[in-house]
Amino acid sequence: MSTAFPAEVSDRICKHMNKDHADSVVFYATEYGGITDVTAAEMVKIDSQGMDLSIQTNGTTQPLRINFDHELADAKEAHHVLVEMLKLTKE
């Protein structure tokens, strides 16, 4: 059962990721979304089960959903999982 984070929590996480970690958002799209030619990506929503991105590829913009491997409890766990997702693929 999906549990949505409050809108302000999702907005805060998305704004932070897009402003301070834009390269990581592109990385999520390529590594976890399987899209190889992403030129830009923006996190538009995050919830307990995954994140919704808006990606640019081949001159078009399209949505991309990336699911987490387990349901997240809160924003603190979301932070931990987003960091771990980067570490796992860069090892």
Which residue range forms the structural domain that includes residue 77?
7-85
pLDDT tens per residue, range 8-48? 999 999 999 999 999 999 999 999 999 989 999 999 999 99
Give the CATH number of the domain where residue 11 resides: 3.20.180.10
Question: 70: helix, coil or strand?
Answer: coil
Identify whether 15 is part of a domain.
yes
pLDDT-derived band at 87, boundaries 50, 70, 90:
confident
Query: What's the pLDDT score for residue 2?
Result: 52
> Is the residue at 1 inside a domain?
no
Q: What is the DSSP string of 24-60?
A: HHHHHHHHTT--S-EEEEEEEEEETTEEEEEEEETTE
Count of domains observed in the chain: 1
pTM of the predicted protein model: 0.90
